[in-house]
């Protein structure tokens, strides 16, 4: 494999390889206040072997929060605390973008004390979020999402401002850019899909109307920090959280055309990551490449060989890896040396759990470096 280990430059960001550490929620933020901390900085700094790190989803407001102990980017204390992470990654010559998150209807008042909001007052079936309520091993306890309140025009305007403010705050904290989270059944994705968005105003109905919130939020982020610091994540093939929309592929393509005109830094495709997931059709990849001229990232449980093939065929430019970076902070080195990989040591530590255990204590291959 050669493509994965090539350097790559996009929007002024020079990457040492084409590995991307994909966003993974780990729920280690300090309480109260959902504050990033030194342990999180160590975790990301360990994984600066990636050409680009995209942080765990980070809420742009308390209203935008859906899971317990996830970090925010809306308070001064959060901004200052994130500097520990950006400094740790930059010290190792890495690049790091912060993912801006509003969960919309995927929340519960048990998490943030607020009724969820959404494009329409439709509850997501078979969908849960988690809290920490003293369960054994520090495990997360999953609770059903609650019925959301339909957003009015002022709610929409406020959410758009919060995306822009979150972007400004992220850059103030030292991040190289931001990723607008438009995937995986959260607020922006809820606007995109006809089964979760039944509005009759300019934000609902036609595909053109359903992409409006995504485009306006992205435009606000661009105005705040610049197009070269703005990426967008989309998940056209993900149907979890009650998001099965027969029109979504056409809607995503329409959105890609608009995002291309905005000249954003990248589109990040979140692809199905379960073992027997269907492959993304080649036709879709080719069409997206025609519609969107800048960098495309693909993430979805790919092997290095699969990633290499996509790069060689010019279907994408960067390959995201999630769980492999979770357990192997030096994952690119291990791939290059064909070294054995660490496996998840304890599933209880994935979300919250034991602090450093199962988080910063995974061994490096060459140095056997571990968290002490």
Distance CA 221, CA 257 (A): 18
CA dihedral 153, 159, 162, 163 (to 10 degrees): -120
Strand 95-101 to strand 128-131: parallel, antiparallel, or no bridges (unpaired)? unpaired
Cis peptide before 32 (omega within 30 of 0): yes
Task: Supply the residues annotated as catalytic.
Answer: 186
Tokens of 24: 């993974």
Strand 128-131 to strand 141-144: parallel, antiparallel, or no bridges (unpaired)? antiparallel
| Sequence-distant (≥ 6) Cβ neighbours of residue 108 within 8 angstroms | 66, 116, 129, 131, 143, 144, 145, 146
Q: Tokens 């970076």 belong to which residue?
A: 325
240, 277, 245: which is closest to 128 by C-alpha?
A: 240
Q: Tokens 């025609």 belong to which residue?
A: 290
Distance CA 268, CA 143 (A): 29
229, 173, 225, 172: which is closest to 12 by C-alpha?
A: 229
Distance CA 159, CA 162 (A): 5
Using the 8-state DSSP alphabet, how is residue 30 labeled?
B
Q: What is the DSSP string of 265-306?
A: SEEEEE---STTPPPPPHHHHHHHHHH--SEEEEESS--HHH
| Sequence-distant (≥ 6) Cβ neighbours of residue 314 within 8 angstroms | 289
């Amino acid at each position: 494999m050669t493509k994965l280990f090539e350097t790559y430059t996009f929007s002024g960001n020079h990457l040492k390889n084409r590995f991307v550490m994909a966003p993974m929620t780990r729920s280690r933020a300090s309480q109260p206040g959902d504050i990033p901390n030194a342990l999180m900085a160590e975790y990301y700094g360990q994984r600066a072997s990636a050409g680009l790190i995209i942080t765990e989803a980070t809420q742009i407001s308390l209203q935008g929060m859906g899971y317990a102990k996830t970090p925010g980017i809306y308070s001064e204390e959060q901004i200052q605390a994130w500097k520990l992470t950006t400094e740790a990654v930059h010290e190792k010559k890495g690049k790091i973008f912060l993912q801006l998150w509003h969960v919309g209807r995927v929340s519960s008042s048990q998490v943030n004390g607020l009724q969820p909001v959404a494009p329409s007052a439709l509850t997501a079936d078979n969908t849960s979020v988690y809290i920490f309520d003293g369960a054994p091993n520090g495990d997360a306890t999953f609770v059903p999402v609650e019925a959301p309140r339909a957003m009015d025009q002022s709610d929409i305007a406020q959410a758009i401002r919060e995306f822009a403010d979150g972007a400004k705050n992220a850059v103030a904290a030292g991040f190289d850019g931001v990723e607008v989270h438009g995937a995986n059944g959260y607020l922006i994705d809820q606007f995109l899909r006809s089964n979760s968005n039944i509005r009759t105003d300019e934000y609902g109905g036609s595909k053109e109307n359903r992409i409006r919130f995504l485009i306006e939020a992205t435009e606000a982020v661009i105005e705040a920090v610049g197009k070269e610091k703005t990426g967008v994540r989309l998940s056209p093939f993900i149907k979890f959280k009650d998001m099965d929309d027969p029109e979504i592929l056409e809607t995503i393509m329409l959105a890609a055309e608009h995002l291309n005109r905005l000249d954003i830094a990248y589109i990040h495709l979140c692809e199905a990551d379960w073992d027997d997931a269907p492959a993304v059709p080649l036709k879709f990849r080719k069409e997206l490449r025609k519609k969107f001229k800048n960098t495309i990232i693909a993430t979805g449980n790919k092997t290095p060989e699969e990633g290499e093939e996509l790069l060689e065929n010019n279907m994408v430019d960067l390959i995201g890896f999630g769980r492999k970076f979770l357990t192997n902070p030096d994952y690119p080195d291990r791939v290059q040396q064909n070294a054995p990989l660490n496996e998840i040591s304890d599933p209880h530590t994935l979300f919250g759990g034991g602090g450093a255990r199962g988080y910063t204590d995974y061994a490096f291959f060459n140095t056997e470096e571990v968290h002490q």
